[in-house]
Structure 1
Amino acid sequence: NNTLGLEWLKHFNAHTKTRQVGGRTLLIINGHKSHCLVAFQDLCREKKIITLCMPPHSSHLLQPLDVACFSPLKRLYS
C-alpha cells in the first residue's frame, strides 16, 4: 500500500531524527514499489534520509542484518 509506505516513513523519521549522524539517516530498503514512488523519495530528501536500495529477493545474500534481525522477525510474524 503506497499510503502505508509514506506513513511508515514519517513514523521512521520521527523515531530516528534525534539519532542522525551529520544530519542524515541511512535507510536500507528492499526495492518494494512503494519505495520507488516520487512522494516517498521526495520525503526522504526533505527529511535527509539516504536510501540504499537492495536488489529484490537478495537481502539474505547481501544483508548481514537479515540473519541476525530480520529472520527472527519473519518467524514471529509468520
Structure 2
Amino acid sequence: MTFFPDAQKTAQAGIDVVVGSDCLPTFADRDSLPYTKTLAKEVLRYNVVVPTAIPYRVTEHGWMLHSKRLPDNT
C-alpha cells in the first residue's frame, strides 16, 4: 500500500461514505464496499501471507517420508 497511496485513499473514502468515520466496517458492509473488497484481494494476491510453493524434488541427502528413504534428486 505504500507504493499506491491513491488506492488506499480511495478505499478509505469508500469506507467513510458507507459506514462513516466513527465506526469500523463489518462483514455486513462488505457488499457495499466493492472497491475495498477487490483491493484486499489484490493485496493478498500480490504478496501472499503463506508460501504456496511446494518442492518438486528432494534437495537434501537422506530425506525420509513415512519411514522410507527418498533417493536424492527424485
TM-score for the superposition, normalised by structure 2: 0.27
Higher-strand-fraction structure: 1
TM-score for the superposition, normalised by structure 1: 0.26
Higher-helix-fraction structure: 1
